[in-house]
Structure 1
């Protein structure tokens, strides 16, 4: 299964080939941190100053990488499918390998974080409601209350 990235996500990821692989690895760390604790504008500002780009560019790059990693982890795509999904972005082989390694190293942790963020679905904690339904279906409720007239 290949990831279907929107044009906006492709634009956000287009910044990655312009920076060193160490920066991409750091963006990967920031992306996982973003999932854990939320956005931190100070990190984006500091990275933007070091890279001599706007803070928005850094933020979009991290958000694009976050989306790539979370969607891949959520869908549990295979190594080959991840490589094929990234290959269509036109990155260098070195960057593709780095992104694959980021995915493989972090997918379990990302899935754990995503499961913690997922809302709990409502569920019954006792069987009392079942007894009420069974009593109603068996007519016991009608016998006690009497038929409606």
Structure 2
């Protein structure tokens, strides 16, 4: 899977090639600290004084880096997908490798932090299923189609409780759905799909 970065995020990250690699690493550390404890205007001001740039430039650079790291960690993208995602930014090979190392070093920690944040969206908790087949019936002369009934249990959401959704289908439709999803996942990994994602603005 490739990340699709908006023009705003690309503009925020465009500041990174202008600073030393050590500064990019420091921005990564600041971004991680802000994820844990929240932002601090004093840190932005101190970094802006050292680099002789406006505070907004530093703030946007750190926030852009924070977005890149959190989205990459959230979707658990691979090294290749990460490098393909930052390719659209037009950075040099050295900077791309620094960003990759930041992602690889901190993605587990970022996922841990994100899992502790409250979310308004329900998340998968469990799936229960049942296959119903009518074995015999005198009035029914035609073939009886089995039914798959699934209960999707969801955790969290706005109320913080548990909810469930009941879904029902026949086995052939379920197999068709599975094969379509598998084909879509396989298509996402092709070089053609990577080129399309790279050119999406």
Mapped partners of 1:61, 1:123: distance in 2: 37
Mapped partners of 1:76, 1:118: distance in 2: 19
1:1-149 paired onto structure 2 within 5 Å: 1-119=1-119, 121=156, 122-123=160-161
Work out the number of aligned pairs and report it: 124
1:58-89: CA deviations, max 9, x gaps?
A: 00000000000000000000000000001111
1:4-59: CA deviations, max 9, x gaps?
A: 00000000000000000000000000000010011111000000000000011000
Mapped partners of 1:123, 1:69: distance in 2: 29
* 3-state secondary structure, aligned to 1:109: helix
Structure 1: gaps (5+ residues)? 125-149
Mapped partners of 2:55, 2:161: distance in 1: 44
Give the CA deviation at 1:123: 2.9
Of Structure 1 and Structure 2, which has the larger fraction of its residues in helix?
A: 1
Of Structure 1 and Structure 2, which has the larger fraction of its residues in strand?
A: 2
Mapped partners of 2:32, 2:117: distance in 1: 13
* 3-state secondary structure, aligned to 2:53: coil
- TM-score, normalising length from structure 2? 0.60
Give the superposed CA RMSD. Answer: 1.0
Does 1 or 2 have the higher relative contact order (CA < 8 Å, sep 6+)? 1
Give the CA deviation at 1:100: 0.1
